[in-house]
């Protein structure tokens, strides 16, 4: 059995408690781990971080994130109500923000 600890961003301490959510990728070889400071895609067998997005400085914390039904995207919501969409490519996490006029339609 292997385990790991998510990296702590600058200014955060390991003594701080974070609620971490985990969801497996559709291929079952990777998983998404997310807490209020970061989201990361891991190799499930090696428990090795392949890619991560870290909330920087005064940015708003992540409230939730999950893979899309086809595992091609990661939808992340933030405590201020914002939503960001990330491509779930194992080697690259690109951020695509949803334009406000589309969010108004939801």
Contacts of 101 (CB under 8 A, 6+ apart): none
Query: Is 84 part of any domain?
Result: yes
Return the residue matching tokens 């974070």. Answer: 18
Q: Would the pLDDT of 83 be above 70?
A: yes
Predicted TM-score of the model (pTM): 0.74
Q: How many domains does the chain have?
A: 1
Beta strands per DSSP E along 1-106: 21-24, 30-35, 38-43, 48-54, 62-67, 73-78, 83-87, 95-97
Any domain includes 2: no
Owning domain of residue 25:
21-103
* Residue 61 clears pLDDT 70, i.e. is over it: yes
- Domain-embedded: residue 5: no
Chain segment 14-28, per-residue pLDDT in tens: 556 678 899 999 999
Q: Is 3 domain-assigned? A: no
60 belongs to a structural domain:
yes
Residue 1 belongs to some domain of the structure: no
In a domain, 96, yes or no: yes
Q: Is residue 76 part of a domain?
A: yes
Q: What is the CATH number of the domain that holds 91?
A: 2.40.10
pLDDT tens across 90-106, in order? Answer: 555 555 555 555 555 55
């Amino acid at each position: 059995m292997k385990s790991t600890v998510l990296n702590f961003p600058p200014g955060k301490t390991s003594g701080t408690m974070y609620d971490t959510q985990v969801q497996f990728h559709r291929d079952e070889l990777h998983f998404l781990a997310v807490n209020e400071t970061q989201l990361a895609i891991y190799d499930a067998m090696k428990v090795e971080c392949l890619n991560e997005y870290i909330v920087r400085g005064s940015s708003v914390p992540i409230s939730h994130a999950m893979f899309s039904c086809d595992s091609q995207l990661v939808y992340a919501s933030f405590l201020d109500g914002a939503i960001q969409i990330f491509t779930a490519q194992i080697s690259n996490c690109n951020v695509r923000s949803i334009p406000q006029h589309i969010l108004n339609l939801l």
